Every structure is written in structure tokens, then in C-alpha cells.
């Protein structure tokens, strides 16, 4: 397996170096091994060379790698995040990673959230009408194509079935946003009709958030659009006990190419202090291994992580007294013992 590793900025680099230690250990037990090549894309390169996503890199990634493992972008010297948007949006759109998957482990269950990752309100269609320098009318269009919603829905529903889920909820707002909402409902109903055994429900996003916070175990799988998914998955991160724990996978449904990244940002407030929790980044490795069918080693790593997070070696954000490297040592120690 060939992984392009993009540590990025701030604690992105710290949590990815933890992930590289674990991958080096696991490589021995994976057929053909795991090759990790590190790319230095991020704030320093942007400031020194004005380069975000280097030209030609999409072709290299497509042809020479199976997946990307990414830390985070964000640097106080670049307040508008221009470099992060250039790289992240470039990768999501350029590699057509329309499915964003975030697992949400809960007490008494778990939830799988799928967010459409390339269209909707984030397509960048719109404009601002100014009088002088003052904005008077501002427009951001929400655009969905049937093709993208279908590809997204087919992948997500099949993935939920693979995970043994019985129920899936479409989160929408078709009472107030009828055009794209109606397209989503139509595709959801048609695709569900082709997959017996999966029970579907539809909820308005506002009511859904209310219920999600009060009783998240009501839900098993959630499929939703870009904006709603952005918000819902951060509620998910809060429910699971913190940003440092959350992992995500962005997938191209046709090629299976995946970009795996923790949900948190570059956390400049704790960068360099050793307080960064690498759990989310290590969960990305679990998702990556599962995505490529390496269930056994993924489960071993997952259980090592779950055990280690309950010890004093855990980082302060989850109640421990450890550091990034102490927690990683604890995980490696438990992996070695299995
Ligand atoms: P953030 O996720 O970096 O940090 C939010 C809070 O959570 C901070 O107090 C931080 O210390 C804490 N935190 C985050 N991850 C943690 C971890 N692994 N262990 C322990 N504590 C952790 O979000 P924030 O502060 O809003 O943004 C910082 C920078 O990151 C900004 O430049 C922002 O644009 C960028 N960002 C980048 C993302 C990405 O690359 N995908 C996602 C979110 C933010
Ligand atoms: Mg977000």
C-alpha cells in the first residue's frame, strides 16, 4: 500500500508523526508492506514559494498512491487560510472525493455520518453587489447535480449495509430549500428502494440536531448535504468527547481513493507543547486500514487505542496527564503485546 503523507501545519505535524510511528510498526504485518512518502505542503511552503497544491500533484497522487493521510492546515501568519483552501479544496475537488465519512462512537452505540463533500452551498457560485465599497446584496448558490447525489447515495447506502446497519436517516430542509432538498429526497427514496433491508427515515435538519443532542442513539446512519453535514459532524465530535478524538475519510466512490484526516485543525494554541492528542490521527489509520480490507490489523489497532485512552498516558484534553509521544508509546506497547 502506498500512502502520501501530508502533515501540514501546527499540531498536524505532531499527530502525523505519531501516525507514522504506528504505520511503521504495522507495515510488517501488511502484505506488500506500507510505503509512506511525506509531502511538505503547507504554510511554510506557501510563504516561501507561494505554492499551495503544487502543479501536477493530482496526477502523481492518482497514479502513484492509494490514499492520503493528512494532518491539518492553519497558520496565524496566513489569517485567510488561503494555502489550506488551495490544498484541501484542490484535493477534494481534483480527486473527486464526494463522500466524507465520519464515525461517531457513543456510549451505548455509534453513529455513521456521511456528508457530501464537493457541491451544495460550497460550490463557490455567487457574488456580491456593492454600492461603493459596501455590500448590499450577497448571493451564495446551493448547486447539486443528480449524478453527484446518486454516486454519493449509492456509496453511502452500500457502505452502511456493509457495516451491518439497519437504519439510515436523510437529513434535509426541503420545506425551506425545496429544489435541492427535493432532488435529495428523490434520490434517497429511489436508491433505498434498490436496497432491501435498510430502513430509511427523513428528518429536517433543525429537528434532527435537537434529537441528536438529546438522544444520539436514536440514529445509526446519516446521509446529508455539504453544509448540513459540516455542522452535524461537529456536533458528532462534541458528542464523542472532543475534537482530538474525531477522524474522517473522504472517498472517491468509483476509484476508492481515500483522503484520511483528523477533524481538528492546527491548534496553534497548543502547538509545540506536546499536548496534542494523536487519537484522531491514529483513528484515521484505523479507517484507512479498514477501507483497504485490512480488518484484523485495523481491529487490533482500534482496541489498542481504546485501551490507551483510558490510561494516564492519555493527553490532557481527554483527562490524562500524558503527551503526544507518551500516548503513542502506550498505543505501541499495547500493539506489541497483541
Ligand atoms: P482547532 O481544531 O485547531 O482547535 C480548536 C480547539 O481544540 C483548540 O483549543 C485546540 O487546542 C483544541 N484541539 C484541537 N485538536 C486537538 C488535539 N488533537 N488535541 C488536543 N486539543 C486539540 O480549531 P481552531 O482553533 O478553530 O483553528 C486553528 C487553525 O486550524 C485555524 O487556522 C483553522 O483555520 C485551522 N483549521 C484547519 C482544519 C483542517 O485543516 N481541516 C480544520 C479546522 C480548523
Ligand atoms: Mg467543519
Select from 217, 244, 271 the last residue of a domain: 244
Select from 244, 269, 287 the last residue of a domain: 244
Does residue 113 share a domain with residue 189?
yes
**Is 296 domain-assigned?**
yes
User: Burial of 134 by CB count in 10 Å (0-12 exposed, 13-18 middle, 19+ buried)?
Assistant: exposed
Nearest residue by C-alpha to atom 23 in ligand 1: 265
Select from 184, 211, 244 the last residue of a domain: 244
Does residue 140 share a domain with residue 5?
no
Q: For ligand 1, what atom is nearest to the CA of residue 8?
A: 40
Report the chain's C-alpha Rg in angstroms.
Answer: 20
Whole-number pLDDT of residue 250 = 98
**Is 131 domain-assigned?**
yes
Does residue 268 share a domain with residue 133?
no
**Is 251 domain-assigned?**
no
Does residue 144 share a domain with residue 85?
no
Of all ligands present, the nearest one to the C-alpha of 268 is 1
Distance CA 272, CA 11 (A): 7
199, 252 contact by CB (below 8 A):
no
Does residue 270 share a domain with residue 322?
yes
Does residue 165 share a domain with residue 86?
no
Element (H, E) at 233: helix 226-239
CATH number at residue 132: 3.40.718.10
Strands 134-140 and 126-131: antiparallel
Whole-number pLDDT of residue 188 = 98
203, 94 contact by CB (below 8 A):
no
**Is 135 domain-assigned?**
yes
Of all ligands present, the nearest one to the C-alpha of 243 is 1
324, 318 contact by CB (below 8 A):
no
**Is 130 domain-assigned?**
yes
Of all ligands present, the nearest one to the C-alpha of 80 is 1
Long-range contact list for 56-59, CB < 8 A, 24+ apart?
58/90, 58/91, 58/94, 58/95
**Is 252 domain-assigned?**
no
pTM of the model: 0.94
Pocket test for ligand 1, best of 11, 79, 241, 243 (most atoms within 8 A of CB): 243
**Is 285 domain-assigned?**
yes
**Is 249 domain-assigned?**
no
Pocket test for ligand 1, best of 83, 264, 274, 316 (most atoms within 8 A of CB): 264
Does residue 107 share a domain with residue 6?
no
Overall domain count for the chain: 2
Does residue 234 share a domain with residue 119?
yes
Distance 267 CA to ligand 1 centre (A): 4
311, 90 contact by CB (below 8 A):
no
Structural domain that includes position 312: 1-95+257-338
Distance 291 CA to ligand 1 centre (A): 25
Does residue 115 share a domain with residue 237?
yes
Pocket of ligand 1 (CB under 6 A): 11, 15, 72-74, 81, 84, 243-244, 264-270, 275-277, 280, 315, 317
Q: What is the mean pLDDT of each run of 10 residues along the chain (338 residues)?
A: 97 98 91 93 97 96 97 96 94 95 92 96 94 96 98 97 96 97 98 94 98 96 97 93 94 97 96 98 97 94 96 96 98 94
Does residue 109 share a domain with residue 223?
yes
Of 26, 109, 35, residue with least CA distance to 296: 26
Does residue 177 share a domain with residue 76?
no
Whole-number pLDDT of residue 196 = 86
| ipTM of predicted assembly, 2 dp | 0.98
Distance 296 CA to ligand 2 centre (A): 31
Distance CA 228, CA 209 (A): 10
Of all ligands present, the nearest one to the C-alpha of 264 is 1
Whole-number pLDDT of residue 229 = 96
Does residue 109 share a domain with residue 91?
no
Amino acid at each position: 500500500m502506498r500512502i502520501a503523507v501530508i502533515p501540514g501545519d501546527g499540531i498536524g505535524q505532531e499527530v502525523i508523526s505519531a501516525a507514522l510511528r504506528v504505520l511503521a510498526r504495522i507495515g510488517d504485518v501488511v502484505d506488500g508492506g506500507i510505503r509512506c512518502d511525506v509531502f511538505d505542503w503547507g504554510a511554510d511552503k506557501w510563504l516561501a514559494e507561494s505554492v499551495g497544491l503544487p502543479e501536477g500533484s493530482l496526477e502523481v497522487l492518482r497514479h502513484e498512491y492509494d490514499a492520503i493521510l493528512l494532518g491539518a492546515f492553519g497558520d496565524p501568519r496566513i489569517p485567510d487560510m488561503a494555502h489550506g483552501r488551495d490544498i484541501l479544496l484542490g484535493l477534494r475537488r481534483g480527486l473527486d472525493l464526494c463522500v466524507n465519512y465520519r464515525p461517531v462512537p457513543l456510549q451505548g452505540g455509534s453513529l455513521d455520518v456521511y456528508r457530501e463533500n464537493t457541491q451544495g452551498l460550497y460550490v463557490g457560485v455567487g457574488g456580491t453587489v456593492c454600492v461603493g465599497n459596501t455590500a448590499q446584496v450577497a448571493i451564495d448558490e446551493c448547486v447539486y447535480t443528480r449524478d453527484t447525489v446518486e454516486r454519493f447515495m449509492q456509496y453511502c447506502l452500500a457502505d452502511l449495509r456493509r457495516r451491518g446497519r439497519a437504519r439510515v436517516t436523510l437529513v434535509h430542509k426541503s420545506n425551506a430549500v425545496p429544489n435541492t432538498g427535493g432532488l435529495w429526497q428523490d434520490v434517497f427514496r429511489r436508491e433505498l428502494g434498490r436496497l432491501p433491508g435498510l430502513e430509511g427515515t427523513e428528518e429536517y435538519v433543525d429537528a434532527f440536531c435537537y434529537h441528536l443532542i438529546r438522544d444520539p442513539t436514536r440514529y445509526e446512519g446519516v446521509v446529508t448535504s455539504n453544509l448540513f453535514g459540516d455542522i452535524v459532524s461537529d456536533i458528532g465530535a462534541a458528542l464523542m468527547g472532543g475534537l482530538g478524538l474525531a477522524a474522517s475519510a473522504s472517498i472517491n466512490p468509483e476509484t476508492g481513493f481515500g483522503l484520511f484526516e483528523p477533524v481538528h485543525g492546527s491548534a496553534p494554541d497548543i502547538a509545540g507543547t506536546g499536548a496534542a492528542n494523536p487519537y484522531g490521527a491514529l483513528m484515521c489509520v484505523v479507517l484507512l486500514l479498514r477501507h483497504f480490507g485490512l480488518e484484523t490489523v485495523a481491529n487490533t489497532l482500534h482496541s489498542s487505542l481504546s485501551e490507551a485512552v483510558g490510561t494516564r498516558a492519555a493527553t490532557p484534553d481527554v483527562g490524562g496527564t500524558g503527551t503526544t509521544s507518551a500516548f503513542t508509546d502506550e498505543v505501541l506497547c499495547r500493539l506489541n503485546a497483541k
